[in-house]
């Protein structure tokens, strides 16, 4: 499923640039994605689109997030730490954080891999028509092993 999401991010500037589900399913099948992965990704994106539509409310400047035991188990320490890093850097406001947590919960894999969480964060930005700044994109795309330390 995550490969489908990355493909959509790389090939469509915004969600509204994507064709309808039927045409998109055909395109994704033609590229070589499995039908189960396509269905799972499109269903997941429908949930994300629903949340993005409801993001018209003004956002609180600050909030504190207390994760439930189930969320901590699902996300794991690395993912929660990464979310906290993004919040601390000022690039993930509370409403977007909640979108990330909701969409991570919708995956249902325990624990969620950090690389998968990064794709979820990227898709939340994408769904809202926002692009993270270059340093955050670097955090989302570059593996720790490939990072050059100065």
pLDDT in tens, 14-73: 888 888 989 999 999 999 999 999 999 999 999 998 888 876 555 555 678 999 999 999
Residue 18, pLDDT score? 86
Residue 147, pLDDT score? 40
* Sign, Cα dihedral of 125, 45, 71, 99: positive
pLDDT in tens, 69-93: 999 999 999 999 999 999 998 889 9
Burial class (CB in 10 A: 0-12, 13-18, 19+), 107: middle
Q: What are the Cα distances from residue 135, in Å, to 5, 130, 131, 138, 140?
A: 21, 14, 11, 5, 9
Count of Cβ atoms closer than 10 Å to residue 147 Cβ = 10
DSSP label at 58?
P
> H or E stretch including 144?
none
Residue of 109, 102, 98 whose CA lies nearest to 74: 109
Residue of 54, 83, 52, 50 whose CA lies nearest to 66: 83
pLDDT in tens, 94-148: 999 999 999 999 997 778 999 999 999 999 998 988 887 777 777 776 555 544 4
């Amino acid at each position: 499923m995550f490969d489908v999401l990355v493909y959509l991010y790389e090939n469509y500037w915004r969600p509204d640039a994507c064709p309808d589900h039927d045409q998109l399913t055909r395109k994704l099948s033609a590229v070589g994605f499995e039908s189960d992965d396509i269905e799972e990704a499109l269903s997941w994106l429908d949930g994300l689109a629903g949340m993005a539509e409801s993001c018209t409310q003004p956002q609180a400047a600050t909030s504190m997030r207390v994760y439930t035991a189930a969320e901590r188990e699902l996300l794991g320490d690395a993912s929660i730490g990464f979310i906290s890093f993004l919040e601390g850097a000022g690039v993930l406001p509370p409403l977007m954080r909640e979108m990330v947590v909701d969409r991570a919960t919708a995956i249902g894999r325990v624990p969620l891999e950090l690389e998968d969480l990064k794709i979820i964060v990227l898709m939340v930005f994408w769904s809202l028509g926002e692009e993270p700044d270059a340093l955050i994109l670097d955090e989302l795309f570059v593996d720790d092993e490939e990072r050059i330390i100065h």
